[in-house]
A and B are shown apart, each in its own frame.
Chain A
Amino acid sequence: MTEEKVYTSHLGQIGDFLIKFFSYVIMTVFALLTIYPLIWLMINSLKPTPEFQISKLSFPASPTFANYTGAWKIGDFDKLIGNSLIYTIGTTIGVIFLSVLAGFAFAKIKRKATKPLYASFIIGLTLTTQSLMIPLFLEANLLHIYNTRFAVLLIYIGSGLPMGLYLCTEFIKSVPDSLVESSRIDGAGYFRIFLSIILPMTVPVITVLAILNITATWNEFALINILVSKTELKSLPLGINKFSGTLSSDYGKQFAALTVGMLPMLVFYLIFRKQITKGVAAGAVKG
């Protein structure tokens, strides 16, 4: 209360009111512009396509889930959602495990090799694997892993490592050396120290990495698009993309497919939004 008073006192009450009024106007316009297209999408996913073609802005006369059953079949969604879960969980666990392990070594075991190795990961922070999709495709063929889950997981984990290692190394550096050293004197091996001291202490950074990797992997499209062609291996975004080309005039099914593509992450976001926004802000340390 007092803070607001101080802030606008010299403008008087009318200025105070106007500033607040325009602030609300700006925020409301932005929020509506953000949310309305998504609500519109969900509303229209409940309309049969002919009804949509006549009227695109009304509520459905008699809402139906027929589009969903149709889209679900065409898109093979139960298979694709399963695949997306495998890729997301596998990538997240892989990135976290490898990052904490190597981050611990970089931060707490003094070796000459650390400097060049760590630097090579830092360079990777400014690169994205998307720009390497052509050589990655050729490499997958070269190694005979094209069209395998292994290739997808390998490349996803590799893409997540620079950020993972950076966050873990910097975080573990802040753990007091004395903790590690006293355990060493007590005769504990490095892996024991890793499991009993480091891992429990890195829960905050693990949470951040989980958030970043889950959202990035679940939504990834560019790489998996060139790594697999078999339906049995495709992820949800690839299935959704089917509704862009030839099926795009069947709007009802398209909207149902888009809603299916959007809802899991939306629910995840609404549950974990505090952690997600915190994690995203923590991950914004590139460069």
Chain B
Amino acid sequence: MARKRPLGTEEGRAYWTMVLPAFVIYMVVMAFPILLSIVLSVSNYNGGKMFGGEQWTVIGFQPYARLGIDPAFWMALRNNLFIVFISVFGQIPLGFILAYLISRRLVKFPDFWQTVIYIPNIISVVVVGILWQTIFSPYGPLSEIFNKLYQANFHSHLAAIFQSFGQFDIKNVPDSLAQKIVNLAGPTAASNFSNPVADLKDLMQSYDANQSGMLVNDLTNLLAPKWSMDFLNHRETAMLPVLFVILWMYTGLYLIMFLANLEKIDVQIIEAARIDGASEGQVMRHIILPSLSGVIVNLAILAISGSLNSFALIYAMTGGGPARITEVLSIYMYDKAFMNGAFDYPLANAVAMVMVVISFILIGITKAFEKKFGGKE
């Protein structure tokens, strides 16, 4: 700090000229919206001119009460907490493990791994969201891969069944053979035939005895189980792809941050401890983890505030659908304000306030945790 000087006007003028532009912009972009949000969240404003238009007044906490009884809000909150959870307990440990392997030189070419695994972070989340939407779609590559695996599997089982029956009259297939095929197919047989065993026998009659290879292929195409994307429609599992993509995208970020801090630890201390007979686990517990405790807390805060506010990735990937089961708070808020002519600004602003408060609470918990358990260097 500069030593205190008598308050010359030149100094004061210079100070305020340098500080005010940043401060005014900051007030306009952050402080005013927060105040506006607080006021609107307890009002009955529903669009239109804010001043001089239709009258609106402060009505109290009724918007918050409406939030509390909306099941969609609780669904969004639950999904958001899943994301917070996977960020704190997924990305951070994974990022640490990868950074550890690199920093201890267990793998060569440290720059290469670091560069590759960080790539998803520099791509627009919109690109990432749409890309994975297509990958997980029923018309995407994932279902093709699974269907091919299912088909190959089905084909070999079917061939084995035919093999075990040796020679048989294709114009009069034994019931036990047809039954075995129906059993193998399971649900696809029931959906293709009304009377599976008889229908299958009829179908097989249309082939000649020397066409058994073709028959096996055709039956495979017809009866092999299809990869089902059903889990995307269930509220228990619909978030799994989103959580996976979040892990895919951001693990590299934590890798980079852990690596930067691991490289700061003096290698000689670790080596000396090892020579003195400390095991790798002891080195981890007594040297590496204590020196990272502050970093871990900072990264947890970063993960929490980042994941509470995640919007664009889910907006691009699922749009909150199907049937709003992948909505998070920010998307719920967006829908309430902008979609279907809702213009429910009080409710939307109440959500914004809830998000701000939750992130402060979680960050507070993290800091308290640090005070209690951290800093024992």
Q: A269 to B26: give the CA distance in the assembly, Å.
A: 29
Residues of A within 8 A of B119 (CB): 34-35, 38, 266, 269
Decide if A27 touches B107 in the complex (CB within 8 Å): yes
Contact of A181 among B3, B131, B141, B260 (CB under 8 A): B3
- Per the bound structure, the CA–CA distance linking A25 and B77 in Å amounts to 37
B127 touches A240 (CB 8 A): yes
* Pairwise interchain contact B2-A177, C-beta atoms closer than 8 A: yes
Say if the beta carbon of B57 comes within 8 Å of chain A: no
Q: A38-B119, A131-B355, A266-B119 are in contact. Are A109 and B305 (CB under 8 A)?
A: no
Q: Once the chains are docked, how many angstroms separate the CA of A215 from the CA of B119?
A: 12
Residues on B with C-beta less than 8 A from A4 are: 105
Please state if A221 and B124 are interface contacts (CB–CB under 8 Å).
yes
CB atoms of B34 and A266 under 8 A apart = no
Q: Let me know if B208 is at the binding interface, CB within 8 A.
A: no
Residues of B within 8 A of A61 (CB): none
Is the beta-carbon distance between A286 and B30 smaller than 8 angstroms? Answer: no
Are A41 and B131 CB-contacts (below 8 A) given A26-B97, A262-B123?
yes
**Shortest distance between the CB of B221 and any CB in chain A (Å):** 14
Which one of B120, B135, B271 contacts A34 once the chains associate, using CB atoms below 8 Å?
B120
A120 touching B26, Cβ below 8 Å: yes
A: number of interface residues (CB 8 Å): 107
Nearest A residue to B94, CB-CB: A30
What's the Cα separation between A272 and B26 when bound, in Å? Answer: 30
On whether A254 and B130 interact (CB within 8 A), knowing A105-B19, A161-B26, the answer reads: yes
Taking CB atoms, residues of chain B closer than 8 Å to A286 are 298, 301-302, 305
Within 8 A of A (CB), among B1-47: 1-5, 10-12, 14-15, 18-19, 21-23, 25-26, 28-34, 36-37, 40
Minimum Cβ distance to chain A for residue B242 (Å): 15
Does B96 sit at the interface, judged by CB under 8 A? no
Chain A CB within 8 A of B154 CB: no
Partner of B129, one of A3, A126, A244: A244
Cβ–Cβ contact A7 & B104, under 8 A: yes
Residue of A nearest to B280 (CB): A7
Number of interface residues of B (CB under 8 A): 108
Query: Which residues of chain B in 115-174 are interfacial with respect to chain A, using CB atoms and an 8 Å cutoff?
Result: 115-127, 129-135, 139-141, 144-145
Task: Tell me whether B337 and A130 are in contact (CB under 8 A).
Answer: no
8 Å CB contact of B10 from A155, A189, A265: A189
- Assuming A124-B26, A138-B50, A139-B33, is B106 touching A258 (CB within 8 A)? no
Query: With A and B bound together, what is the CA distance between A138 and B23 in angstroms?
Result: 21
Instruction: Kindly state the separation between the CA atoms of A194 and B333 in the bound complex, as whole angstroms.
Output: 44
Which one of A34, A53, A134, A161 lies within 8 Å of B22 (CB-CB)? A161
User: Which of A141, A258, A287 has most B Cβ within 10 Å?
Assistant: A287
A262 to B107 Cα, complex, angstroms: 29
Interface check B252, CB cutoff 8 A = yes
- Return chain A residues, CB-CB under 8 Å to B2: 108-110, 177, 180-181
Contact with B along A15-29 (1 / 0, CB 8 A): 000011001101100
Check A134 against B337 for contact (C-beta < 8 Å). Answer: yes
How far apart are A114's CB and chain B's nearest CB, in angstroms? 8
B363 an interface residue at 8 Å Cβ cutoff? yes
Verify A126–B122 contact, CB threshold 8 A: no
Kindly state whether residue A83 has any CB partner on chain B within 8 Å.
Answer: no
Q: Inside 8 A of A88's CB, which chain B residues have their CB?
A: none
Contacts of A209 in B (CB 8 A): none
Q: Identify the closest chain A residue to B254 (Cβ).
A: A284
In the bound complex, do residue A99 and residue B257 qualify as a contact, i.e. CB atoms below 8 Å apart? no
B299 in the interface (beta carbon within 8 A): yes
Q: Which residues of B contact A102 (CB under 8 A)?
A: 18-19, 21-23
Contacts A126-B360, A269-B119; A120 near B21 (Cβ below 8 A): no
Evaluate whether A128 and B34 lie within 8 angstroms (CB atoms) in the complex, with A189-B14, A285-B298 already known.
Answer: no
Query: Which residues of chain B are within 8 angstroms of A266 by Cβ–Cβ distance?
Result: 119, 122-123
Which residues, 306 to 361 on B, are CB-close (under 8 Å) to A? 306, 308-309, 311-312, 315-316, 319, 330, 333-334, 337-338, 345, 348-349, 352, 355-356, 359-360
Question: In this complex, what residue of B is CB-closest to A236?
Answer: B124
Map CB proximity to A onto B270-286 as digits: 1 under 8 Å, 0 otherwise.
01001100001000000
B64 at the interface (CB under 8 A from A): no
Residue of B nearest to A156 (CB): B29
Shortest Cβ distance from residue B63 to the other chain A in the assembled complex, whole angstroms: 12
Binding site for B on A (CB under 8 A): 3-4, 6-7, 19-20, 23-24, 26-27, 30-31, 33-35, 37-38, 40-41, 53, 55-57, 98-99, 101-102, 104-111, 113, 117, 120-121, 124, 126-139, 141-142, 154-155, 157-159, 161-162, 165, 173, 177, 180-181, 189-191, 194, 215, 218-219, 221-222, 225-226, 236-237, 240-241, 243-244, 248-249, 251, 254, 258, 261-262, 265-266, 268-270, 273, 276-278, 280-281, 284-287
Q: What are 21 A-B interface contacts by the 8 Å CB criterion?
A: A4-B105, A24-B107, A27-B101, A37-B135, A41-B131, A105-B14, A107-B1, A128-B306, A129-B29, A130-B311, A134-B334, A136-B29, A161-B25, A177-B3, A221-B125, A240-B127, A243-B130, A244-B133, A249-B139, A278-B260, A287-B301
Beyond the given A7-B274, A277-B260, please list 8 additional residue pairs across the A-B interface where CB-CB is below 8 A: A105-B18, A109-B2, A110-B3, A134-B349, A138-B36, A181-B3, A265-B124, A284-B260
Closest 9 CB pairs of A and B: A158-B29, A281-B260, A190-B14, A135-B33, A23-B106, A105-B18, A219-B124, A221-B312, A102-B22
